[in-house]
Amino acid sequence: MAAAPLSPETGRTIYPVAGERAAVDELVVRTEVYADPEEVYEFLLDFPRYGRYSEYLRSVETMEGSGGPGTRYALTFAWWKLTYTAHSAVTGVDPPERIDWAITKDIDADGCWRVTPVGDDEAEGGNADGGGTNDAGSDDTAAEPTCEVALEVRFDPSSASSDALDLPRLVSFDWVLKKAIPLIRTEAERVVERAVADLEGRTRRIDLDVYVDSDRI
């Protein structure tokens, strides 16, 4: 894959966006969080902590930057007999509502974290009956600030580079893609669930709203 061009205005790398490529698969996982949007945003900006939430992500190394635009990470994944290091970058931020990121080599992929405050009526009233209880059966969240968190992922499977992996003998790259791509959904759901539990400092049933635009996931 050719190197991404540099912006003449900023000198920073210009990463592709979903609208510039065809056959893009999309996944969105969202849920509500009982925490201030500012706290949630700062929490999600810490990409290295994601290694604690993922089954297949073994390590996250900061290559450059401190979390803002231009920060680059090396994410090492291990699955089956394979190990792969993906290179990602933070491409934009809009505190405390959005963190954009992109994979910078081997595949066209990007996404973002969205943090959206929930309206006062929902945060304070709970339900129409005035119950205000959470999934754990407690009403102690009724007065807490609440926001919605969404993890959005977009990728073009046809852009994946077969040179990125050192495959075992007799194993095809297409077979690996067929087996690995469906794992993206379970990984995204797992990351969101564990991040919310860490943010709230407790364990409760977390209801996920999942949107999928893909025949592969």
- Could you tell me if residue 7 is inside a domain? no
pLDDT at 133 over 90: no
- Could you tell me if residue 140 is inside a domain? yes
CB 139 within 8 A of CB 132: yes
Which pLDDT tens digit goes with each residue over 41-63? 999 999 998 889 999 999 999 99
- Could you tell me if residue 16 is inside a domain? no
* Domain boundaries, position 84: 21-213
- Could you tell me if residue 2 is inside a domain? no
CB 167 within 8 A of CB 176: yes
- Could you tell me if residue 43 is inside a domain? yes
H/E run at residue 121: helix 120-125
DSSP assignment of 41-88 equals HHHHT-GGGGGGT-SSEEEEEEEESSSSTT-EEEEEEEETTEEEEEEE
Q: Residue 142: give its domain's CATH number.
A: 3.30.530.20
- Could you tell me if residue 15 is inside a domain? no
Question: If pLDDT is split at 50, 70 and 90, which confidence band does 14 have?
Answer: very low
- Could you tell me if residue 12 is inside a domain? no
- Could you tell me if residue 11 is inside a domain? no
Which pLDDT tens digit goes with each residue over 180-215? 999 999 999 999 999 999 999 998 999 999 999 998
Query: How many domains would you assign to the chain?
Result: 1
Distance from C-alpha of 119 to C-alpha of 200, rounded to nearest angstrom? 19
